[in-house]
Amino acid sequence: MPPTDTTADQTCDHEAPRASARRPFEVLMNAGSGADAKRETRAHVDELLRARGVPAQVTLLPGDALARAARTCVREGRVPVAAGGDGTVATVAAAVAGSGREMGVLPLGTFNYFARGLGLPLALDEAVAALCDGAVRTTSVGYVNGRVFLNNASIGIYPSVLHERESVYRRFGRGRAIAYAVTLRLALRRWRRLQLSMTIDGRDEARATELLFVAGNRYQLEELGLHEEVGCLASGRFSIHTTRALGRLALVKLSARALLGKLEDASEVVSRCGSEIDVRLPRRRVRVAIDGEVFVARPPLRFRLRRDALRVIGPPDGA
């Protein structure tokens, strides 16, 4: 069962010396698509670490082996470093959270919300430097039905966007423009509205909505234009968002505003804070998106937050 400490503070506190003074790294890269490019990146990361004299091993492996490799690192005393996008980072974090061990991050994905929220540079050589010279911070971790998420978890139209986006990526490659095009195309289709019964910190409510979005990343909220909702995270709670029941045109317009980061004062979005969220809906199964990855869960869905559950190497002090 996931931990239920719900007094989390989403800000990160540093607590440890430079990473280069600690245990050896094992950089875990998701082989995924684009094998040639991944091998080149692997060789470049290895070269950068060797140049700094840091003991490290860079491993390219299939996505379904990431969690097992991260658990092995923790057990054998190495520092797992997630080299990839938010999905890769969340997979490694699930193996590390609550263990008392730290992990590192090399942002190689499309959006890299977790790394950006942590203040890590996105250029690979600078990210390797931050990994080697950085300080350990603690950050909070979200759970939905026992699965870890760092940035967000959602049901409704967004998991369907992600599911369809992967097939488009395989044909045309990854990129923000493609991600945005898929979002707008799906918003134009007929969409089956969700009928939710929710309990948020003991308060019951029912809602017909196209989306339930549970956020735990300040950077992503600000990028969407939801600046005022950042206060939920500062107070140690999730930032929770649903849409009002929308027609197709209104959904397309709202999707466009979200992609442009213009959701401030959007009357179609209902926002609130909460630490414990139970969601019931009349379906046997539902797609859930967590940090860019999609899985199928059985309702009810239980969202929980655990304070300071993850130790992660962030930028050096003063950076």
Report the phi/psi class of residue 263: left, alpha or beta, with left for phi > 0 and alpha for psi in -120 to 50: alpha
What superfamily would CATH give domain 13-141+309-313? Probable inorganic polyphosphate/atp-NAD kinase; domain 1 (3.40.50.10330)
- Residue 11 has a pLDDT of 44
**What percent of the chain clears pLDDT 90, i.e. is strictly above it?**
56
- Residue 155 has a pLDDT of 95
Averaged pLDDT, 296-303: 96
pLDDT digits (tens, 9 = 90+) for 116-167: 989 999 999 999 999 999 999 999 999 999 999 999 999 998 887 776 665 5
Averaged pLDDT, 210-217: 92
- Residue 1 has a pLDDT of 44
CB 294 within 8 Å of CB 162: yes
216 three-class SS: coil
Residue (of 242, 236, 280) closest to 142 by Cα position: 236
The hierarchical CATH code for the domain 149-307 is 2.60.200.40
- This model's pTM is above 0.75: yes
Least confident of 78-87, 134-143, 159-168, 220-229: 159-168
pLDDT at 286 over 80: yes
Average pLDDT, the chain: 84
Q: Position 52: which residue type?
A: R
- Residue 8 has a pLDDT of 40
pLDDT at 271 over 60: yes
> CA 277 to CA 301: how far, in whole Å?
8
pLDDT band at 186 (very low <50, low <70, confident <90, very high): low
- Name all contacts of 228-234 with Cβ < 8 Å and 24+ positions apart: 228/264, 228/271, 229/271, 229/273, 231/273, 232/272, 232/273, 232/274, 233/10, 233/11, 234/9, 234/10, 234/11
Q: Which of 30-34, 35-39, 93-97, 156-160 has the highest mean pLDDT?
A: 93-97
pLDDT at 294 over 50: yes
pLDDT digits (tens, 9 = 90+) for 45-69: 999 999 998 889 999 998 889 999 9
Domain boundary assignment for the chain: 13-141+309-313, 149-307
> CA 285 to CA 171: how far, in whole Å?
28
Averaged pLDDT, 299-316: 94
Residue (of 52, 58, 55) closest to 40 by Cα position: 58
pLDDT band at 96 (very low <50, low <70, confident <90, very high): very high
Residue, of 12 and 59, whose pLDDT is higher: 59
CA–chain centroid gap for 162, Å, is 13
> CA 278 to CA 120: how far, in whole Å?
33
pLDDT at 170 over 60: no
- Residue 61 has a pLDDT of 92
